[in-house]
Structure 1
Amino acid sequence: MRKTASLLFLFFLISFSLLAQNDVEWDGKYQIQLSDFQSKATQIGNVNTNSIQTASGLNFSIQMSNIEFMFTKNFNSKVSTTFKRESALLIATDTTTANRMVKFAQYEFDLSELYARKLRQKLYLNKGAFSDISFLQPLYDTIQKEYVEEHGEASKKTNLGQKEEVLKTLNEDVLTRIQEFSDFCKSCKPPKKKK
């Protein structure tokens, strides 16, 4: 019985670590590669169309008591940007097109982090002493809308990354704007407001 329980525990531990390896958290260093598109539907060549589903985005999760919530001002650690490898899908007519689409996926990943930082800042600035959890949703909705609009424009302007110079310019702009929100990285503590 003990042996079975130990084996079962080991199985869950291995399964959990394998799942965690499929998620890449944004750190400013990791560059998405073609091998990160691990969906079984990923295909390069023998297709007539190009399509990409990067499975990157910002996530917000919060689990705390009402009292904890009331005394929490910094929600930076509760907002994360991840890329989910096993959900990432890429369909491309050829390898050159695929590699350009991978660069677009990196842009999306960076753009997600920019909007995660914007959300962290909005949460920090708008959380009052007596705010309840309902204050979060309108802020998230606003950020999500802005993200979708900017992403859509970039998709059109770059033709999903096929216009490499345009994409490079857009991505450099996003990285510059990320630095403007340096106090709102996931592990950062924003400076206290001066009285």
Structure 2
Amino acid sequence: MKFILVLILNLSATILFGQSVVEWAPTFELELTDFQSPQTEINESFKSYSLYSGANIDFSFHMTTGQFMFTKNFNSKVATTFNRSAAVLTAPDSLTAHQLLNFGKYSFDLTELYARRFRKELNECKGAFSDVSFYKPIYEEIQANMNEEHARVLKQTDLGRKSDLLQMEHQQVLSEIEILSDYCKTCKPPKKKKQK
């Protein structure tokens, strides 16, 4: 009986965690209800506004040395996730909240763009005799570049309040995601053509 209770509790925790973290998909669009941190609030007494998007690039793999040696496609090992329970949005009114939401959408798509760039770099840089830690400098550079771009657009658009400018930046990100379509999580990258 204790085993069944523990199993039920573990399954409940897994289901709850699974509902809290959402993977990026071209058909998924963030809503205000996705910002589920207890700190999320729309309150007219607020004099300022803030957003923590909850979007991340996750990368992990478990394989034998032999598997690692012959693996070039790490697409499935890189995920773009949005953590609903960590996502925070505070605003004085619904107009500002929707402007921040639009920036959150941009941020989630920007994270997917850099995940695709990361997948592409992994594919291009991984050799048969690469060390297991070959990805670290690639990941650090991708993360730094993404943070820099995020900060640039955050400042230029006033956290999404300049909606025309944000829409232009967001469209650019979506176009670049499409260009890197071979590097989606479930895609198989093209093989390099041998030089003659």
Runs of 5+ consecutive residues of structure 1 not aligned to the other structure: none
> Hey, what does 1:41 align to over in structure 2?
39
SS at 1:24's partner residue? strand
CA distance in 1, matches of 2:132, 2:103: 35
CA distance in 2, matches of 1:135, 1:87: 30
CA distance in 2, matches of 1:65, 1:106: 37
CA distance in 2, matches of 1:47, 1:6: 47
CA distance in 1, matches of 2:128, 2:3: 47
CA distance in 2, matches of 1:51, 1:30: 23
Tell me the amino acid that sits aligned with residue 114 of structure 1: L
> Hey, what does 2:168 align to over in structure 1?
169
> Hey, what does 2:4 align to over in structure 1?
6
Per-residue deviation, 1:191: 1.3
Tell me the amino acid that sits aligned with residue 152 of structure 2: E
Per-residue deviation, 1:65: 2.0
Tell me the amino acid that sits aligned with residue 155 of structure 1: L
CA distance in 1, matches of 2:62, 2:47: 46
Tell me the amino acid that sits aligned with residue 176 of structure 2: R
Q: Percent identity?
A: 45
> Hey, what does 1:115 align to over in structure 2?
114
> Hey, what does 1:27 align to over in structure 2?
25
- Number of residue pairs aligned between Structure 1 and Structure 2: 193
The alignment yields a C-alpha RMSD, in angstroms, of 0.9
The 4+ residue runs of structure 1 with deviation greater than 3 A are: none
SS at 1:86's partner residue? coil
SS at 2:36's partner residue? coil
- TM-score, length basis structure 1: 0.96
> Hey, what does 2:185 align to over in structure 1?
186
> Hey, what does 1:66 align to over in structure 2?
65
SS at 2:57's partner residue? strand
Tell me the amino acid that sits aligned with residue 58 of structure 1: I
Instruction: Encode CA deviations 1:142-195: one digit per residue, 9 max, x unaligned.
Output: 111110111011101110110111111111110000011011000001111111
